[in-house]
Chain A
Amino acid sequence: MAQAKRVNRPLSPHLQIYRWQIPMLTSILTRITGHALVAGVLLAVWWLVAAATSESYFAFVNGIATSWFGDLVFTGSLWAVWYHYLAGLRHLYYDAGKGMDIPTAEKLGWACIIGSVVLTVITILLVQ
């Protein structure tokens, strides 16, 4: 027993080398979108405060809110809120003890991703 035989034991995969799967991707996206939404809320509240303050200040903030930067923040936030919305509904469904098997969970994940893009486009068309 001078030299112990080396055995190739399976290693627990680290997050960085673990193959991305729909349930884990859609789970972390829920948290990311939820927190990123604060950017859209800040811009919307600033815009509302400007409207309450004066006509000239509103013109300044409205200029930013409707610029390419505002479009970027609000379009991003719109997708984020719809994604977080669908993922939240999925959470309530999971909480009821349903949809936990892998094929259903993966379908629900795709429903969140595709559904959020579809709802974003519909909302943009509705408010144009």
Chain B
Amino acid sequence: MRYLTARKRAEGLGSGHAGTHHHWSMTLSAAGLAFLVPAWLIIFGRALGQDHATVLETFGRPFPAILTGLLLVIGMRHFAMGATVMIEDYLHGFARKAAIVAVVALSWVIGATGLFALIKIAL
């Protein structure tokens, strides 16, 4: 017999334990991306189709480089969290865990690869 109240036993076991933080993180990253995405689309769209020197010059400038870096970090985090929710909706058991590991790893690899390219171009 454990001397715990019903409330104490239930606390931290519901979706409210971590779910609200996930939701708030998605809200924050969505708000950030709402500013980053339109500006980046124009910069990337104008650079695409240019010659090598122009592309290096574009992403060597501070604004496009910082913008692309922010988009990679916040965007891939937003993707990893959204994809995790989708996997949790459709997969169960080991497949769920394996898929979440794969999608989180893919997100970090894409982010790190993009940042490596950016640093090499900008510095």
Contact = CB atoms under 8 A, between A and B. Distances in A.
A34 B79 contact: yes
Interface residues of B, number: 35
A37 B27 CA distance: 19
B117 A48 contact: yes
B121 A52 contact: yes
A92 B31 contact: yes
B48 A65 contact: yes
Interface stretch (A5-13, A18-26, A39-47, A104-112): A39-47
A81 B79 contact: no
B82 A34 contact: yes
Contacts of A78: 41, 45
Interface in B102-119: 106, 110, 113-114, 116-118
A126 B27 CA distance: 29
B75 A41 contact: yes
Contacts of B62: none
A31 B106 CA distance: 18
Contact of A38 (B55, B59, B79, B113): B79
B31 A58 contact: no
A27 interface: no
A127 B42 contact: yes
Interface of B: 27, 30-31, 33-34, 37-38, 41-42, 44-46, 48-49, 52, 55-56, 59, 68, 72, 75-76, 79, 82-83, 86, 106, 110, 113-114, 116-118, 120-121
16 contacts: A31-B86, A37-B79, A38-B79, A41-B75, A45-B110, A45-B117, A58-B52, A59-B52, A66-B48, A74-B48, A81-B41, A123-B41, A123-B45, A126-B42, A127-B41, A127-B45
